[in-house]
Each structure stands twice: as structure tokens, then as C-alpha cells.
Amino acid sequence: KSWRGWDSRGSRSANEAHRAEPSRSARNGGLVNKIQTFLVSRWHSFGHAFHGWSYVLRTQQNAWIHAVVATLVFLVALWLGIPPRDWAVLILTIAMVFTAEFINTSIEAVVDLASPLHHPLAKVGKDVGAAAVLIAALAAVLVGLLILGPPLWTRILLLVN
């Protein structure tokens, strides 16, 4: 018997195929059980995701740099009172940088697992992952300058004059 009662050919295992049809109340109880199982599995999935998030923040210095810069960007955007569309672009851009950092960290972990010794292809995998983070961060800087630059410059000039 393999995963959830299906055999390797994609059909119900012998024990599952010969069960009698359950009564209506048993089927409804089964539905409740399926919903409960689904909700518990979602809860566990969120737990795994938060554990991964915690791992990145504990082990990756660049993630802390991204977090500090993102916080500063949020504070400046609040101070400038940017419109909702600009908020959406900033949030997506910050999410893009964090996503690249998280994927890069997972690539590094898998490469370290698969190739504990130094190997040229392992280096390529890690370098390409780091390049993805660099591209995302550079794009984020450009987006930040385009969105925050003009209103920030205007606000600074008003404060100076």
C-alpha cells in the first residue's frame, strides 16, 4: 500500500477496493474528517513555512540587510503618503527580493547536501542563486528610486527652504 491507499499503478489497493459502501452518516463523518485533516495539514504547512522563514533570518546576513532596508522603505513611504498603487508596487518588489533570498538559501542548502565536497557545478548553482538575489535587489533599488525619489526630493527641498 502506498500513499493514501493507492497502489503504484494508480488504483485503489485491495483493502480499499473491497470495502462496503459507507452509510450516509458515515460519509458525512468522513467529510468532517477530511475537512479536519485538511485544516490540520494547512496548519502544519504554515508551521513549516514559518520555520523556513526563521531559518533564513537566523542564518543569512543578507536577509537582515533586506529587512532593514525594507523597513526604511516602508517608513519613508508612510512619511511621504504615497498612493495605494505605489504601495502595491513597493510591496511586490520587496516580496520579490525576499523570495529570491529564500530561494537562494534553499538552493545553497540542497547543493550543500548533494555535494558536500567542492565541485564546479555546485559553485555554479550557488553563484546563479546569488545572481538572482543581486538582480532582484538592483531592480528593487530602481523601483524604489522611481517611486520614492521624486516625492522624497520634493519633501527634502520643502524642509530645506
* Catalytic annotation present for 101: yes
Sign, Cα dihedral of 10, 12, 13, 14: negative
What's the count of helices (H) and strands (E) in the chain, helices before strands? 5, 0
- Judge residue 128's burial from the number of C-beta atoms within 10 Å of its C-beta, 0-12 exposed, 13-18 middle, 19 or more buried: exposed
- Active-site residue among 16, 21, 101, 108? 101
Question: Catalytic residue positions?
Answer: 101
